Amino acid sequence: MKTPWWFLYKTPLAFLLLPAAGVYYLFSRIVYSWRKIFAYKSRRKIICIGGLFAGGVGKTPIVRAIANRLDIPVVMRGYKRSAKTGNIGDEATMLMNDGIAVHVGHRKSNIMLLNRQKNENGPILMDDGLQNPSIKKDVSVVVLDESLGFGNGFLLPAGPLREPKKHLRRADAIIVIKREKSKRKIKLPENVPVFYATNKNVMPNGRYDRIVAFAGIGYPKKFFRALPNVVARRSFGDHYQYTEKDIEYLMNLATRKNAKLVTTEKDWVRLPENVRDKIKYVRLETNIDEKFFDWLKEKLNANDKKVG
């Protein structure tokens, strides 16, 4: 499904959906409180990377950067798994292609399994799950995109937020992905450490190649705006599963425009294998402020001292 257009703006429709947002919040708090009763405490430290925003923030590259830096396993749900991604999901496939040990499925069960590895004591990185208290986290990090901010500031379905902005105070740290020429101002709690990250697009084509860009992600406009020489663009729903008919249409479009097809890495792993060599993807390289890793090390060591 495509991200609702009103998520970023306070439109009349968004205001009409506010009662539904109130019901959503009440229900989510009931579920949260119930799950918290049965929270599991892991033997190994749990670092949770999550967000208030429902998709499209750019959390997966942050997870990849941290997992690679610390050389630790990742547990994740594996959203919208399909045969094209080995039934593990596009985000998990991206991470595994980078040599990261990824455990997909029920996160609590996977963490319990990893805890049985007696010769392993390092941290476990949990992708998402900030709103799920069934696993106790030692470190909770919220990721925000500067260009998206908090959208229209409303909860689902009136807006993109899974929980109110004030809940940022529960986070141990916040990572803000910086964007050039961002017009949105993000007000953050003063008592939570804030670190910054930057993204760099590594283009697969020549500098002056004409591009037909397509993407099935939360906010495809972010991707399109970052590309040079785009002569046509097509957007699909988030985690969209491409069909042979879709590929045929895109290839014909590229031929008519005398251009090359380019997509995101997340989309590329969802393409049929027989066309992947004909379509290029833009690799997103994420650089997190070095101060974040210094802070994370201190935080994990401080937690060790508390346990001792």
pLDDT at 288: 97
Collect contacts of 3-7 with beta carbons under 8 A, ≥24 apart: 3/55, 3/56, 3/160, 3/218, 3/219, 3/238, 4/157, 6/152, 6/158, 6/159, 7/54, 7/151, 7/152, 7/159, 7/160
CATH of region 14-198+289-302:
3.40.50
> Is the pLDDT confidence value at 123 over 80?
yes
Q: What is the pLDDT of residues 131-168, one digit of tens each?
A: 989 999 999 999 999 989 999 999 999 999 999 999 99
Whether omega before 4 lies within 30 degrees of 0, making that bond cis, reads: no
> Is the pLDDT confidence value at 229 over 60?
yes
pLDDT at 152: 94
More confident residue, 64 or 186: 64
The separation between the first and the last C-alpha atoms of the chain, rounded to the nearest angstrom, is 48
Question: How far from 193 is each of 49, 63, 174, 232, 266, CA to CA, in Å?
Answer: 15, 18, 6, 41, 30
Mean pLDDT of 61-89: 82
Name the phi and psi angles at 27, rounded to 5.
-65, -45
Mean pLDDT of 107-120: 92
Q: What is the pLDDT of residues 191-207, one digit of tens each?
A: 999 999 999 888 887 77
pLDDT at 304: 67
Q: How far is CA 26 from the centre of its chain?
A: 25
Q: Domain 201-286 belongs to what topology?
A: Rossmann fold (3.40.50)
Instruction: Name the one residue in this structure whose structure tokens are 């002569």.
Output: 231
pLDDT at 179: 81
> Is the pLDDT confidence value at 87 over 70?
no
Domain boundaries, the chain: 14-198+289-302, 201-286
Position 275 confidence tier, pLDDT thresholds 50, 70, 90: very high
pLDDT at 208: 73
Asked, colleague to colleague, whether 14-198+289-302 and 201-286 share their fold, the answer is yes
Position 259 confidence tier, pLDDT thresholds 50, 70, 90: very high
DSSP 55: S
**Cβ atoms of 282 and 213 closer than 8 Å:** no
> Is the pLDDT confidence value at 84 over 90?
no
Mean pLDDT across the chain, nearest whole number?
Answer: 90
**Torsional sign, CA 245, 251, 257, 259:** positive
pLDDT at 306: 58
Helix or strand holding residue 242 (H, E)? none
What the block records as the tokens of 195 is 């670190």
pLDDT at 265: 93
Instruction: Name the one residue in this structure whose structure tokens are 């939360």.
Output: 218
Position 173 confidence tier, pLDDT thresholds 50, 70, 90: very high
